[in-house]
């Protein structure tokens, strides 16, 4: 597989993902304003403080887990990502899908060296740009397909904190939680299937947390996580094992993909970032604004604005304009302004428009987002070159940043490869989803 820059050379400056000639789950004939988003609603309302939790909880036998997978070589990250997504989809009652971990493993779009060394950020980029998930089976597991069979489009991801109460409630309500760990065979007990690493070591494996048992005897005390591995059903306890609560690496990095919509062959995704956000930019203040220029070939009804959040408790206000004077750095023609949305956890989120905003074809429009991240100095999510990780095609004259457009409405600084400021050589991670207007 070639690296990310080769992958991106297949794309236009603005990536227009047109889902054509592919079957849709059930959405094709619905009006745009009838779009349905599936998942768990306001996730924040599910996770509560001081909730009495059972001493034992186990997703096995509930019908809310996908099949135990056998990972590709060093592909635990892709297997865990897909297994977690299968579990959340099952838990929501949306459907029972067998998804391809091999397709994510092969076509993530990042540096080729990352195939056997991936993470949940890569999975989120793949899911949200419309590259997958793909139904497992057939030649398309490992061969590239420009029009893959995608059953649904993931529209939300959450990167959960290292908080046992949050993780337990997430498993109970939503399904298996993706979690990174260190696996060193000498710390695994073959007789009890118990694993416990009491010291910090480099992350080298990913599993799914599928439950817990506070009563299990474990090194140094009681209690363990029940986890689904990706080494086949012949591994340990039919593909599962136990990680003691004393393990210091588990829960450090966690993810859930918590919302999706029916796949629609007509949907367009306009974006510049394909590898997503792993870095942030700001002006040494908790407030900063990003502005991105878009255009569609045809009239387009916008259904959703997508974006990354890189810090907890970040608030976002989005606005859409029809004009931006690059000489005076002034915005005009405001056609939309959102409410203030606050996001408890980092991840990928959206603001829903449901087709109520129509943009003219071949006419530029501009999406501004004001990010406020308490206690942080870099609130704006950006895509940058990272050696041995991703080499994205950074665009020109498409993105601008501002320290606070409410205070300095004309203080927009151009980003991208032609920016006069080298440290602004990035794309801002804001996306637009919509449908072309049919005559």
| 67 confidence band (pLDDT: 50, 70, 90) | very high
The alpha carbon dihedral of 12, 425, 415, 375 has a sign of positive
What is the average pLDDT value for the chain, to the nearest integer? 91
pLDDT at site 138? 79
Q: Which residues pair with 262 in a beta bridge?
A: 152
pLDDT at site 220? 83
Cis-peptide, bond into residue 133, ω within 30° of zero: yes
pLDDT digits (tens, 9 = 90+) for 43-57: 888 899 889 999 999
pLDDT at site 53? 96
Give the mean pLDDT of 325-341.
Answer: 97
Question: Could you tell me which residue, 320 or 263, shows the higher pLDDT?
Answer: 320
For the ranges 77-86, 140-149, 363-372, which has the lowest average pLDDT? 140-149
Question: Could you tell me which residue, 439 or 372, shows the higher pLDDT?
Answer: 372
Give the mean pLDDT of 27-40.
Answer: 69
Which of 198-202, 216-220, 225-229 reaches the highest mean pLDDT? 225-229
Predicted TM-score of the model (pTM) = 0.92
7 pLDDT more than 80: no
pLDDT digits (tens, 9 = 90+) for 171-194: 999 999 999 999 999 999 999 999
Q: What percent of the chain has pLDDT over 70?
A: 92
pLDDT digits (tens, 9 = 90+) for 395-404: 999 999 999 9
pLDDT at site 11? 40
pLDDT at site 217? 92
For the ranges 76-80, 137-141, 232-236, 248-252, which has the lowest average pLDDT? 137-141
Tokens 């135990």, residue located? 68
Please calculate the CA angle 168-174-179 and round it to the nearest 5 degrees: 60
pLDDT at site 383? 98
pLDDT digits (tens, 9 = 90+) for 265-291: 899 999 999 999 999 999 999 999 999
Give the mean pLDDT of 406-423.
Answer: 96
pLDDT at site 31? 58
pLDDT at site 8? 37
d(CA 253, CA 179): 6
Q: Is the CB of residue 85 less than 8 Å from the CB of residue 155?
A: no
């Amino acid at each position: 597989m070639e690296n990310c820059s080769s992958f991106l050379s297949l794309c236009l400056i603005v990536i227009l993902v047109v889902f054509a000639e592919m079957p849709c789950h059930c959405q094709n004939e619905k009006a745009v304003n009838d779009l349905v988003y599936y998942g768990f609603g306001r996730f924040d309302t599910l996770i509560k403080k001081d909730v009495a939790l059972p001493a034992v909880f186990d997703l096995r036998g509930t019908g809310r887990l996908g099949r135990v997978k056998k990972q590709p070589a060093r592909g635990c990250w892709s297997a865990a990502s897909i297994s977690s997504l299968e579990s959340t989809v099952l838990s929501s009652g949306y459907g029972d899908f067998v998804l391809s971990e091999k397709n994510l493993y092969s076509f993530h779009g990042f540096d080729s060296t990352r195939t056997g060394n991936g993470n949940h950020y890569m999975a989120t980029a793949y899911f949200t740009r419309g590259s997958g998930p793909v139904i497992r089976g057939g030649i398309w597991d490992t061969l590239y397909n420009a029009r893959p069979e995608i059953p649904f489009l993931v529209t939300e991801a959450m990167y959960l904190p290292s908080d046992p109460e949050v993780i337990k409630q997430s498993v109970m309500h939503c399904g298996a939680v993706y979690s990174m760990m260190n696996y060193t065979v000498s710390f695994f007990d073959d007789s009890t299937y118990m694993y416990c690493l009491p010291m910090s070591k480099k992350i080298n494996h990913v599993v799914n947390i599928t439950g817990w048992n506070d009563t299990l005897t474990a090194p140094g005390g009681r209690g363990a996580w029940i986890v689904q591995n990706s080494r086949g059903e012949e591994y340990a306890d039919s593909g599962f094992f136990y990680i003691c609560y004393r393990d210091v690496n588990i829960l450090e990095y966690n993810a859930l993909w918590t919302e999706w919509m029916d796949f629609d062959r007509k949907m367009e995704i306009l974006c510049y970032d394909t590898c997503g956000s792993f870095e942030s930019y700001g002006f040494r203040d908790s407030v900063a604004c990003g502005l991105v220029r878009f255009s569609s070939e045809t009239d387009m009804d916008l259904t959703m604005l997508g974006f990354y959040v890189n810090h907890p408790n970040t608030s976002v206000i989005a606005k859409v304009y029809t004009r931006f004077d690059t000489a005076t750095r002034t915005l005009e023609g405001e056609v939309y302004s959102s409410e203030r949305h606050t996001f408890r956890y980092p991840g990928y989120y959206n603001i829903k428009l449901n087709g109520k905003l129509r943009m003219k074809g071949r006419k530029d429009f501009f999406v501004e987002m004001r990010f406020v991240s308490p206690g942080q100095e870099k609130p704006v999510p950006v895509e940058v070159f990272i050696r041995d990780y991703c080499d994205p095609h950074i665009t020109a004259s498409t993105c601008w940043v501002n320290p606070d457009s409410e205070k300095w409405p004309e203080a927009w600084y151009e980003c991208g490869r032609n920016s006069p400021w080298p440290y602004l050589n990035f794309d801002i991670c804001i996306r637009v989803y919509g449908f072309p207007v049919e005559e």
